[in-house]
Chains A and B, each alone.
Chain A
Amino acid sequence: MNSLFVMIFRPIIFLFSIFYLGLLVSINVAHAKELNIDFLYIEFQEKRPATLSNLVAPPEDDGLQGVRLGVIDNNTTGKFLKHTYKADEVVIKHDEDFKARLDEALKANSHPFIVANMKADKLLMLADHPLAKDRLIFNAGTENTELRISNCRPNTLHTIPSRRMLTDGLAQFLVKKRWTKVFLIEGHNPGDKELAAQFRNSAKKFRLKIVVDKKWPVGGDIRRNAAAEVPAFTQGAEYDVVFIADEVKDFGQYVVFHTWLPRPVVGSHGMEPVAWHRVVEQWGAAQLQSRFGKLTNRTMAQKDYAAWTAIRTVAEAVTRLQTIEIPKLKDYILGPKIRLAMFKGRSMSYRPWSGQMRQTIPLVHAGGAVIKLAPVEGFLHPKTELDTIGIDEGEAKCRVQG
């Protein structure tokens, strides 16, 4: 009955509603004026490291689709205010000349807002580019923690959480569970190295003890011999939990259930700290997931979410201030008044020292549940509990604002 209704009535009603919309819409906002808000999305696609199995490959367009949904969402709001949002997309392949394509993209237009999806070295090239100086860049691609400590740029904010935010959130949970003795396994990709290093920092901050700290041995098809190799590799110490740093999911999935001691696995596998995941459904997230699914026929991934939050942040600031002047918007975004609804249980804002978006970190189990939302209760902070995870003001060596 309902599908019949949708088929027959909806198109008719839709036409009517479009007609109505054009008629009269007045707004309470002082001096509402027509604004065009243009984004440039730039992505550099790194060559993917080889993995044993392709079962868990991330989507090719992780990030890009978040931009697309963000623009659609913004325009639904914008139509009531005569604000029009648009994004131009530039995707640079790993075998292309990044510098040349970047020059070309920045010369092509002067869109004031850039959503960047690339690794740290490329992001700094973009941030330091003379043609990007007066624009506002949102990093939705790299979790590199150094960018939030000493390598910050006045024109760059971060919506994707740093690896340190992820490992801090996870460490809080381990403390809460009293799983304080950790067996750490580090993979061989650069991201793994940083993830392991940040976990060591988190362990120090929250007083966890890393009882074993090992690199994953390369070689062989672990898919076939996990039952023989992993128990031997994880033998010889008492530990409560195994932490794996294997971001590209090369070997971690073969460690789970094969450890010498029957212990839970966390980190890049088992229970993962994430910016976003398909299992996030509370706090109104179900609607966001469903809008995203309708648009893309896949689930929303972490960079999609980071890109979407960047686009939504700009819309929130433009809606409140009725301007596209970068300095004013930047002040507002980094200021104390902004409260962003980003579907992760708490209102979000930005850290004025690093430009990092404060956010909760879901600790998820890919089998289908959010196990916990960090910050975990009991970890206190004089300003906001959200600053118990990641680089706090005292630790940052640079300042984005002021």
Chain B
Amino acid sequence: MPIFKMNADMWRNGSKRSLVSVIVSTLILSCSFSQPVLADRVYITNEKDDTISVIDTKSLEVVKTIEVGERPRGIILSKDGKYLYICASDSDAVQVMDVKTGKILHNLPSGLDPEQFSLHPNNRLLFIANEDDAITTVVDTETRKVVAQIDVGIEPEGMAVSPDGTIAITTSETTNFVHWINVEKLVLEHNSLVDQRPRHAEFTADGKHLWVSAEIGGTVTVFNVADRTEIKKIHFEVAGISKDRVQPVGIQFSKDGKLAFVALGPSNRVAVIDAKTFEVQKYLLVGRRVWHMAQTSDGKLLFTTNGISGDVSVVDLEKLKVIKSIKVGRYPWGAVVVPHP
């Protein structure tokens, strides 16, 4: 308040105008800087547009569209937040983007048709599912060399690395297996049969449980990681939607670990699940054919990619309500949050 008063006085006093303008411009500058500094950004891959849409989590608008390789799908952020890795499926490459400049630095060898991947906690090894090739490729992001290729089932898709870095998981869509890979030896150690078309695997933050979604089976299987046994099969029931349209894909856990969110594909719903009791609490209506999700670093907002409607739904996680949908490119697929520095 005193500043404004001073302003009014000083406009009349020409000799002090320069001081005022410094103050005003400083104010303006700090305002315009504060927004991008505080807000996270969500990077959305648009599978059929060969682009990435960047959404500002404050204004909830697309602030930038970046061209990338062909058919971008999986997208993840390096542990230090410096690089984005993007599966450009039809370019048969994983592209490395400098987060600061938005420029593609180089491509990593990825094997054919990379779809999803996961970065080891050591920030170095990238585990890539090669959908067209029944192989999991392990790439060293520093030397940019392939470390190993491991035979898995047909159409490997979901990839996850356990928080302690000892286990890598690949799910194979047509073979219907969860493949457990020993990271130290880089060999396949164990296979667990799940329901039809396993799409996505996600470890809980404590590494104790592994959740795997089965798109055609319509279920999520929860494994106890220590002995690799199935402890729960979660079923979904959406009123008014026939069962075969409830197709679980992406999985996310809330930052406090209490809730799980499962994207249910063409039922256009995201299920909210109690991560302890495994009970479904609620279904949130989002855009059409919801694939994957990402949440802001404060855990307040969840963004879902809706393939058919070509938009992103924003969920307020405190109220568990959908608050906005944001138009992006064609066939949005993957999502990752880049936290504010």
* Residues of chain A at the chain B interface (Cβ within 8 Å): 1-2, 5-6, 9-10, 13-14, 16-18, 20-21, 23-29, 73, 76-77, 80, 284, 287, 290-291, 316, 319-320, 339-341, 345-347, 384-386
Contact = CB atoms under 8 A, between A and B. Distances in A.
Interface of B: 91-93, 107, 109, 112-113, 131-132, 134-135, 146, 148-151, 153-155, 172-177, 186-193, 195-197, 215-218, 228-230, 242, 244-245, 266
B146 A287 contact: no
A5 B109 contact: yes
B92 A2 contact: yes
Contact of A77 (B150, B177, B186, B192): B177
Given A24-B189, A27-B191, A284 B196 contact: no
B148 A16 contact: yes
Nearest to A27: B191
B196 A27 contact: no
13 contacts: A2-B107, A14-B149, A20-B150, A21-B188, A24-B189, A25-B189, A26-B191, A76-B175, A80-B175, A339-B196, A339-B218, A341-B174, A384-B242
B119 to A, nearest CB: 20
Contacts of A347: 196, 216-218, 244
Given A27-B193, A346-B245, 19 more contacts: A1-B107, A16-B148, A16-B149, A17-B150, A21-B151, A23-B187, A25-B190, A25-B191, A28-B191, A28-B229, A73-B154, A80-B153, A291-B132, A320-B193, A339-B196, A339-B217, A345-B266, A347-B217, A384-B242
A287 B199 CA distance: 14
A5 B218 CA distance: 38
A27 B190 contact: yes
Contacts, number: 114
Contacts of B146: 5, 9, 13
A28 B230 CA distance: 9
B189 A26 contact: yes
Contacts of A290: 132
A20 B182 CA distance: 12
A26 B217 CA distance: 23
Contact of B151 (A9, A10, A18): A18
A77 B228 contact: no
Given A28-B228, A347-B216, A13 B148 contact: yes
A77 B176 contact: yes
Most chain B CB within a 10 A radius of its CB, from A5, A384, A385: A5
A384 B244 contact: yes
A291 B91 CA distance: 17
A13 B92 contact: no
A341 B157 CA distance: 15
A284 B154 CA distance: 12
